[in-house]
Structure 1
Amino acid sequence: MIGVVFEEGFREQGEALAAKLNLPLVQDPEAFQYGLRITSPGLEIADLHKKQRPIRVDFHQLNDERSGGDLLKAVNTKTHKTVLDATGGLGRDAFTLAKAGCTVILMEKNPIIHALLEDGLLRAKDLQAVQRMTLLHADSFSAIPEHPAEVIYLDPMYPARKKDALPKLEMQVFHALLGAEQNELELLQMALQHARKRVVVKRPIHAPVIQAPSLQFKGKTTRFDVYLK
């Protein structure tokens, strides 16, 4: 499904990455849907059969964007300064919170997504926000109790859309790597046991609540369900 490819001059790095992640090197692109590709701008995941923008973690680009109003309100970054992002993903929300002054621990259990995050953080280590971010290769169910924080932030995987048109590359890859099924209720209850102040859950705007929240902050396509301790 996914193998390692590399640009000319990156063979050594490519072979090392393939060995580290236990992935094959791509010899025949027809045999793979996706490639974990080492390039000059950074590590990325690309669809080897369709022209789509590859997935890459680029915190310098995010640093130039203004976003996160509802997220910052839901976390209440004016008061809460320590956040555990237990479902790190590509780190966008964690970076937004760090940019607002929070110290953020990110957990990501999938080794391929973790590698993308690790690469992105390394390339952006000059940014003050990135210096407030710590990445852990960990499963949130077992690691949450070991990392107490004022706020625990969750962005659980949402089931694939039941439409003929495929979702964008990022969602396709996440479903392929992580699967669509997560025990959202169990994860929320774990977070509620260990967050000191609140738990914030990111959801598509029309998705059902996992359990009744204390507060909600709604945007056009996304909402944040807030559970106060």
Structure 2
Amino acid sequence: MNAAVVWFAESDDDRARARTLAIPTVETVPDTGFYLQSRDAGLTLCNADAARRDRGLRLDLCDGEVERRAAGGRRSPLARAIGLQRRPGQRVLDATCGLGRDSATLAAIGCRVSALERSPLLYALLEDARRRAAIDPPAWLAHWPTLVHADATAWLARVDPGAFDVVYIDPMFEAPRRKARPQKALDWLHRLLGADTDAAHLLAAARVVAGRRCVIKQHARAEPLAPADLSFGSKSVRYDVYLIPNRDHYSASNDFR
């Protein structure tokens, strides 16, 4: 982490979870900085320096956003980048789970998803969000059974080639210059975690393991990490596709138009 986060742990369960993730605990709310706190609505990232009315950041995978994003089905840019139009039920590893939206969306459009997250902070928020989702589970949750706290590059080095059809990567890059103020989640996470400066190394590791292709999510105007074989996107987001030689033969004419 680029900035320190502590866990205001009020229960034995909180202390045990914090200890597992090596997040320092405190017994009182800090006067300044970021901290985690278990609230009635779920585990929340709080900023003691924010306005008093600020409610913090909590992940909610059951707020309808996943279903909205999955509404495009196999015609969406994400589905086309994954290759679902030709091969339903792809085994996808989300190597940078982040806020969990993409993993959930991939599960909702028919992929079998495993996910990795190396940040202890994000993993704690994700684990809590999945725990709450499992109380009244949406149908897609069964297609995303695995979330692992691990550095993806090191984890992939222990995986046999072809274990996953697709390795999906959504690196955190430096925030592009924009007139509008960034969303709170992105602003806080950039301040806490910084950019993923090792994204190119992760792509190289993913290309060894992926059975058919690697997919990198980028800002629409960002430079690609490497020359891509295919790209799909919209005004704001682009998915760069790297096909694995002798494993995924693709013709643009096979894509949905």
TM bucket by the smaller chain? 0.7 to 0.9
Aligned Cα root-mean-square deviation (Å): 2.4
Structure 2 matches for 1:1-229, cutoff 5 A?
1-5=4-8, 10-20=10-20, 21-25=22-26, 27=28, 29-30=30-31, 32-51=32-51, 52=54, 54-62=56-64, 65-68=67-70, 69-78=76-85, 79-80=87-88, 81-125=90-134, 126-133=137-144, 134-145=146-157, 146=159, 148-161=163-176, 167-229=182-244
Measured after TM superposition, the shift of residue 2 of structure 1 is 2.1
1:186-214 CA-partner distances (Å, limit 9, x unpaired): 11111111111111100011111111111
- Describe the shift of the 1:83–1:28 C-alpha distance in structure 2 as closer, same or farther (beyond 3 A): closer
Q: Indicate the larger mover: 90-99 or 179-188.
A: 179-188
Q: In the aligned structure 1, how far is the partner of 2:243 from the partner of 2:5?
A: 40
The residue matched to 2:44 in structure 1 has which SS?
A: strand
Measured after TM superposition, the shift of residue 224 of structure 1 is 0.6
- 1:5–1:35 contact (8 Å) kept in structure 2: yes
Measured after TM superposition, the shift of residue 49 of structure 1 is 2.2
Unaligned 5+ segments in structure 2 are 71-75, 245-257
Q: Indicate the larger mover: 121-130 or 46-55.
A: 46-55
1:128-179 CA-partner distances (Å, limit 9, x unpaired): 2112211011110111242620010001110134679863332233234433
Q: Residue 255 of structure 2 aligns with which residue?
A: none
The residue matched to 1:101 in structure 2 has which SS?
A: coil
Q: In the aligned structure 2, how far is the partner of 1:95 from the partner of 1:64?
A: 6
Normalising to structure 1: TM-score of the pair? Answer: 0.87
Normalising to structure 2: TM-score of the pair? Answer: 0.78
Q: In the aligned structure 2, how far is the partner of 1:116 from the partner of 1:19?
A: 15
% same residue? 32
The residue matched to 2:208 in structure 1 has which SS?
A: helix
Count of matched residue positions in the alignment of Structure 1 and Structure 2: 225
- Describe the shift of the 1:82–1:154 C-alpha distance in structure 2 as closer, same or farther (beyond 3 A): same
